[in-house]
Amino acid sequence: IQVRFGLTPMMEGQMLWAPYTQVRQRADGHTERTEGVGDVTFALRRSLKNPDGSGFSVALQPFVSAPTGKSGIGAGGWQGGLVAPISIPLGGDLSLGLAPELDLLADGDGHGTHWGWAGAAGLSKPFGAVTWGLELWAAVGDDPAGRVTQASLDLTLAWTPAGHEDLQFDAGVYGGLTKETPDLAVGIGLSRRF
């Protein structure tokens, strides 16, 4: 669940929470399943240029996550960071999105924090009421117990039904590219603008 609310013409607040997550891990012929709620994240997004997404746009988004998630799903401690979402029109309705990110992450043993970084680069293009996206995502965390490197190749789509411009359905398939990334993740969503 994500709630976004306008604070000024150039700033919005955000709250993000996963009310249900299921993680399945297979090793040595055994499958282990963990399910429950995720962490809660609070963020502010301050636009520096074109908050409506017309033309080149860039913003700064500091965030903090509270450790409300179940063990094995949540991070196990307070985390935070800064993301700089960037959108660059390439012509012909094709756009490039970038999202460099610097993070302060909870250590895997639950004692202390460490630095990490993440980034995403993706192309998106509308085809009628459906917008398709292809994205490469990567994250590195320098946990004292050992560096964690994750990456995925993601395919997304967003559909806005005709006559319902304030409604959007989203779906995504995320394929892991490293051994520390889930092999496959699937997500669906519904957005409603008020």
Q: Exposed, middle or buried by CB within 10 Å (0-12, 13-18, 19+), for 105?
A: buried
Q: 12, 31, 9: which is closest to 22 by C-alpha?
A: 31
Q: 19, 13, 53, 64: which is closest to 38 by C-alpha?
A: 19
**pLDDT > 90? residue 26:** no
What mean pLDDT comes out for the span 37-50? 95
What mean pLDDT comes out for the span 22-46? 87
Report whether 186 contacts 174 (CB < 8 A): yes
Q: What is this structure's pTM?
A: 0.86
Q: pLDDT (tens digit, 9 = 90+) per residue, 99-158?
A: 999 999 999 888 899 999 999 999 999 999 999 999 999 999 999 999 999 999 999 999
Instruction: Determine the pLDDT at residue 148.
Output: 93
Report whether 106 contacts 113 (CB < 8 A): yes
Q: How confident is the model at residue 27 (pLDDT cuts 50, 70, 90)?
A: confident
